[in-house]
Amino acid sequence: MIESLNNPKVKEWLKLYDKKYRDLNNCFLIESKHILEEALEANVVKEIIATDISYQKEGIPFYLVSKPVMAKLSKQNSSTDVIAVVKKLDNNEIISNVCILDDIQDPGNLGAIIRSAVAFNIKTIIMSPKTVDLYNEKVVRATEGLIFKLNFRKNNLEEEITNLKKLGYKVYGTNVRYGYNLREVKFNKLSAIIIGNEGKGMNMEVEEMCDELINIPISNCESLNASVASSIIFYEMDR
């Protein structure tokens, strides 16, 4: 059992909360039994760290640690009894409807958008280079394990949108002032929707590449949270 907070393995695991080390090692941390189950199903678990030997799985390195060590490793307010090191997800070919994120910054928003994407049959999420890191612990926790259900790409959006159009996608952007009423939009069989930054919306270069701009008619408030707006649009696309 690992009981020392200064154990080299503990220090190694803690480094994975730093994006630089996640990128260097091509892996990240997850917490909780539920998210571990999703990661095991996706076959991406590299190491399991737990206070209970019942989490041991054949063929996966297992580390039994003390509760103080687990408390040091955990980022949750409530205690957890299992953490795992998992491999970053592969960038696969674009399939089905697509969500494009243009500089989304809030980890909670990204996590909620991922959950909604799974719920409404969005299969691919493309993120701009300045979008919050997918493997940030707050993002991973907010996805509730659904991070393992989607295909993710992080790249220059102009390049990705050009490629989508070559594949036959129609690209929709969100604009609260100039967009068409969402209720009247007839989505293409292959559709890609761009969700802009929480504060400034889409970048001008990206907006100019849209085939159509849409907005969600609302009353009594100026705008919707990015994740809430995404859910409404995903629902309409799926419908």
pLDDT at 221 over 70: no
Compute, in degrees rounded to 10, the torsion defined by CA atoms 146, 191, 101, 209. 170
Contacts of 237 (CB under 8 A, 6+ apart): 97, 120, 122, 187, 191, 193
pLDDT at 231 over 90: yes
For 205, list phi and psi in degrees, rounded to 5.
Answer: -60, -35
Domain check: are 152 and 59 in the same one? no
- Which pLDDT score is estimated for 76? 85
In a domain, 1, yes or no: no
- Which pLDDT score is estimated for 217? 84
Q: Which domain holds residue 123?
A: 97-238
Q: What is the pLDDT of residues 140-197, one digit of tens each?
A: 999 999 999 999 999 999 999 999 999 999 999 987 777 788 988 999 999 999 999 9
Q: What is the pLDDT of residues 48-98, one digit of tens each?
A: 999 999 999 999 999 999 999 999 999 987 779 999 999 999 877 888 899
14-19, Cβ contacts within 8 angstroms, sequence gap of 24 or more: 14/72, 14/73, 16/85, 17/75, 17/137, 19/133, 19/135, 19/136
Domain check: are 79 and 117 in the same one? no
- Given the DSSP bridges, would you call strands 45-50 and 82-87 parallel, antiparallel or unpaired? antiparallel
Domain check: are 217 and 139 in the same one? yes
- Which pLDDT score is estimated for 227? 92
Domain check: are 81 and 34 in the same one? yes
- Which pLDDT score is estimated for 136? 96
- Which pLDDT score is estimated for 41? 96
pLDDT at 219 over 80: no
Domain check: are 103 and 191 in the same one? yes
What pTM, to 2 d.p., does this model score? Answer: 0.92
In a domain, 157, yes or no: yes
In a domain, 28, yes or no: yes
Question: Is 29 in a helix, a strand, or coil?
Answer: strand
Stronger pLDDT, 125 or 219, i.e. the higher one: 125
Domain check: are 227 and 111 in the same one? yes
CATH assignment of the domain containing 59: 3.30.1330.30
Domain check: are 101 and 197 in the same one? yes
Domain check: are 209 and 102 in the same one? yes
CATH assignment of the domain containing 205: 3.40.1280.10
Domain check: are 69 and 113 in the same one? no
Q: What is the pLDDT of residues 207-218, one digit of tens each?
A: 999 999 998 888
Domain check: are 152 and 73 in the same one? no
Number of domains in the chain: 2
Domain check: are 62 and 102 in the same one? no
Which among 21, 53, 87 is the end of a domain? Answer: 87
Residue 125, H or E segment: strand 122-127
Q: What is the pLDDT of residues 99-149, one digit of tens each?
A: 999 999 999 999 999 999 999 999 999 999 999 999 999 999 999 999 999
Which among 43, 65, 87 is the end of a domain? Answer: 87
Domain check: are 127 and 234 in the same one? yes
Which among 53, 87, 121 is the end of a domain? Answer: 87
Q: DSSP assignment, residue 88?
A: P
